[in-house]
Amino acid sequence: MPAVAVTPDRAGPTQPAAYLRLSNAGTLPRFALLIVLFVGIVAVITSSLVDARADQNGMEIGCALAAGGDPGLSDLDVWFRTVDQASAYRECVDRFVPAHAWWWKPGALLVVLAGAAALYRVLPMWKGRRSRVVPVEQVDGHEELAATLDELVTLAGLGRPPRFVIDAAASTTGALVFGRLRRYTVCLDGGLVAGRHRDPAGFRAVVLHELAHLRNRDVDITYATIALWRVLLGVVVPLELAYVAAVSLPETAGSYMATREQSRVAHHVVMLAVTVVLAYLARADILRTREFHADLTAQRWGADVRLWEAAAAREGRGRPASSRFAARLVAQVASFFRTHPSWGRRLRSLADPGVGFTPGMLPFFLTGATVGVAATRMPALLSLLGATSRQEDWIVAVVVAGLVTTITGLLLWPAVLHATLTSNPAPSGLRAGSWLGVGLIVGELAVGRSGSVWDVLPEEPAFLVLLALAGLGATWWTAEYLHAAIRSTGTRRRWLPLVGLGVSGVVLALWWHWWESDGSLLARGFLSFVSDLTPGVFEQSLTAGQGYTGPLLDLAPGLPLLVFYGDREELLWMTGALWILPLLTWLPRLAGAARPRPVLPAAGIGALCAAVAVVATTAGLRVWSPMVAGREETRLLTYTMWIIVVVLGVMWLATGVTAALADHHPLLQGLVVAGTTGLCGLATLTILASIDGCLRPLAILASSCHPDPLASWSLVNWLTPATLGVGGFLAVAVAALGALARRPLRRFRARAAADRQAGENAAVHLGRMAPFRVAVLMPCLVTMVLAGAVTLAELRSPAATTVAPNLVLSDQATSPAVRAAQVLAWRALGGAERTGQVVDATLDLMRRLDQLIAGRSGRVLTDWALMDTEVRPRCAALSERVAHARRYFDHPDPGGQAAWDALLTGAQRVASACDLAIAKQDRDAQLAAIRQLASFGGQVRGMTEKILS
């Protein structure tokens, strides 16, 4: 057989060496996704099994019911009521919920992982059993075959050759590689060996393809993937279904929770099905991706592509052609579930390697969904290590940001590098980010954290848009920044793309921390429990009760939320980094460098418009709403609201127009323009506030001219996070809308591109470099100084960051059945016991007094030594019982709560009067306390009946 003249592992003209170094980077991030998803699913299921084993009677739910929680209204309502009575709830759980050893949950997780590891070791042994395959060395007359295989191993450059075996029973012409830990075997089908003389090129192509799997180091990943999937499907899922069938439904049959529990179980099963489908899609994506990379590696070694052409032709003849959109859509969806790509797709990837290296929508969707599932399950594992809730939020945020940044970076970097080196269009970061955002929403809904256990959607589903927007912005920004950095510095300087990935990770970590601590609560309906963030209450607090009835109170009802959650210095650093770093990347370094257009002209136009808008707004308000004495706070609120609306409006308009007209990097250019526009608007406001009163048409509050540059700081400090922080974050959505409008505006974009090309062809003179550099560095420097000043001001006033909103518990009607269950749980889990203790202590005091008075004919009232030893301890015991009872839950029923308050208040009054009279040795006070005790004793029975009924 003639040898194919190829050089092992050498890049061809369309496959640069830097590109080939990333050729096996596609399978690893997908496998990392599967690992995270598998651990998340197993952690959920094993935790539920361990908790069910410890709390077989559902006492934790009983404690929530005793606290007054109504699971039929909202999960957040239950959570607020347990948090509002946290000490009583913790005491109830510690007392009635059986505790399990700390190692149960991690132990159960480790057992499942150990089972997957054992299956990973067994699978290759089963495939290579002696009864199924025969080593090539034991087959007579195949010395030529062994020599050919040795030649192909040498061509592949494998330091450790695999063992070759033959499956004589297989009449097909394929091959298979399996094994573990560098002990690999290549199994050749009998039909392949028999036909190697008829089609030597096809034989070499098949073997080289299998050797490529070894060179790409994806064999271990493949069998680990198969082992994880089989353990999940064959062990974990049946255990979960058995738990649901045996524990959940029978416990509530015939009770008030029967319908709701059935709904919960149905939702639970649906969520389990969704996560299993996600795991299967991740598995299929791994197995498909490895085939693309193996094909490219085999082609580089000289494999004849006619093998793929013939297979693709046979596949095309066996598939009916259809031009219907529905049929193509079904075929596209079905391809996601296939573990091997179609031959036509594989042939296209060989003709254009960028097809195989450019990730589709599925990996990003799986990244978002996996992160959404894992983020909600990590706190349960972190709590076992003693982490506080604040620490858990930060750890989860860092882990999530690391996962998303690493995986998206490994997926996008090869594609961007290939596009840059081959002068092809870069992958669409907007599309990738959109699918990541959709995945985040699906993952959040799949675990049911933001929604009620009865409902799929949360109470406020609109806040899930912020979740998708964060994923969109992070991925889109990463893709564009990688492209800009590689174009600017080439492929040798990797530090600049790595810096961008680090910035993206930090930004995403800060944002995800906000989502863990505040955002998920907003989606669950937090605002319905807060009275301080309603527009009316908010403006009353800001105007010191003066009131405000302007139109913006109706036009901008989200202002309280914007200011309350936007008053965070990390938002300012986050959005600032997203536009400062690209601007520094475009900084001209050489005299012949191209001008950073259209970024600087667009930023200049936006800054000018912002300055004009702030000046016009100030002058317009002066005429339209003149200041009235005594209404300064209202005037300042009016002015502030208008400035926020105007500056944000100009920022977003400039962002959208820039993104729509940009030929490349619409998000980066849009963010740069948004940042400079908002910065100029704030700078204009600073100047006007500093000279307030000096220019009468532009006066804000002052009536005379007293220039004070520091006077404007409090106003600018308050507005900066809301405009540059929140406004810059929301500019991502505006840039996305502008990018979607690029196609209708292609005529204007073509004309702008021609103008830019004409400008870029001219070299920049050395004397003109300084203005460009100043124009780039000045806004960066000002933003960093402003962010540092805001951060320093926040650190100097920690009391401003500790203000908690006023929470108002829900007053929605509870059904009679649930109310009865709440009262029953309240009585059974300590209410009846504490009531009996108070009543018994009261009756014991009454009985002892009766005995003493009857035995000594009333002279006991003056025997203070006897009263101090016999009566006073019983008064103290009654007071202790009352204090112990007050630490318990409020009574769930309003009538019962009134009787409970009356019992405790009356008992405390009696105990205090008794103790005080004896301490002062006051006979009249002692007689009054006894009469009060007698009156209270006559009411105890009725109070007790109301409490326990």
pLDDT in tens, 167-215: 888 888 889 998 877 789 999 998 998 888 888 899 999 999 999 998 8
Nearest to 31 by CA among 292, 232, 185, 229: 229
With cut-offs at 50, 70 and 90, classify the pLDDT of residue 799.
Answer: very low
290 SS3 class: helix
**pLDDT for res 260:** 61
**pLDDT for res 938:** 84
User: 19-28, 228-237, 771-780: which range is least confident on average?
Assistant: 19-28
Largest CA distance in the chain: 128
Q: Which residues contact 448 (CB under 8 A, 6 or more apart)?
A: 267, 268, 271
**pLDDT for res 702:** 66
Separation CA 889–CA 895 (nearest Å): 15
Residue 453 has pLDDT above 50, yes or no: no
Residue 871 has pLDDT above 80, yes or no: yes
- Supply the angle between the helices 713-720 and 769-796 in degrees, to the nearest 10: 100
With cut-offs at 50, 70 and 90, classify the pLDDT of residue 61.
Answer: confident
- Do 180 and 124 form a contact (C-beta atoms < 8 A)? yes
pTM of this prediction? 0.79
Mean pLDDT of 666-675: 90
Residue 734 has pLDDT above 80, yes or no: yes
User: 227-241, 315-329, 669-683: which range is least confident on average?
Assistant: 315-329
Cβ atoms < 10 Å from Cβ of 799: 6
Residue 15 has pLDDT above 70, yes or no: no
**pLDDT for res 19:** 42
**pLDDT for res 763:** 43
**pLDDT for res 751:** 57
Please state, for a pLDDT cut of 70, what percent of the chain lies above it: 77
Residue 790 has pLDDT above 60, yes or no: yes
Output the average pLDDT for the chain.
78
**pLDDT for res 752:** 55
User: Which of 508 and 711 is assigned the larger pLDDT?
Assistant: 508
User: 46-50, 245-249, 571-575, 813-817: which range is least confident on average?
Assistant: 245-249
How is residue 905 written in tokens?
């208040």
User: Which of 551 and 894 is assigned the larger pLDDT?
Assistant: 894
915-929 pLDDT per residue, tens:
888 888 888 888 888
Residue 755 has pLDDT above 60, yes or no: no
**pLDDT for res 536:** 56
Mean pLDDT of 548-556: 52
Residue 641 has pLDDT above 60, yes or no: yes
Mean pLDDT of 485-502: 78
With cut-offs at 50, 70 and 90, classify the pLDDT of residue 77.
Answer: confident
- Do 481 and 585 form a contact (C-beta atoms < 8 A)? yes
HEC profile of 655-702: HHHHHHHCCCCHHHHHHHHHHHHHHHHHHHHHHHHHCCCCCHHHCCCC
Mean pLDDT of 795-820: 60
DSSP 856-922: HTTGGGG-HHHHHHHTHHHHHHHHHHHHHHHTSPPPSSHHHHHHHHHHHHHHHHHHHHHHHHHHHT-
With cut-offs at 50, 70 and 90, classify the pLDDT of residue 13.
Answer: very low
User: 371-375, 732-736, 890-894: which range is least confident on average?
Assistant: 371-375
Start-to-end CA distance of the chain, whole Å, equals 96
Query: Which range, 197-201, 527-531, 641-645, 713-717, has the best average confidence (pLDDT)?
Result: 197-201
Residue 590 has pLDDT above 50, yes or no: no
DSSP 775-824: HHHHHHHHHHHHHHHHHHHHHH-GGGGG----B----PPPPHHHHHHHHH
With cut-offs at 50, 70 and 90, classify the pLDDT of residue 444.
Answer: confident
**pLDDT for res 930:** 84
DSSP 601-656: HHHHHHHHHHHHHHHHHHHHHHHHS---TT-HHHHHHHHHHHHHHHHHHHHHHHHH
**pLDDT for res 901:** 92
Please state, for a pLDDT cut of 90, what percent of the chain lies above it: 10
User: 126-130, 562-566, 762-766: which range is least confident on average?
Assistant: 762-766
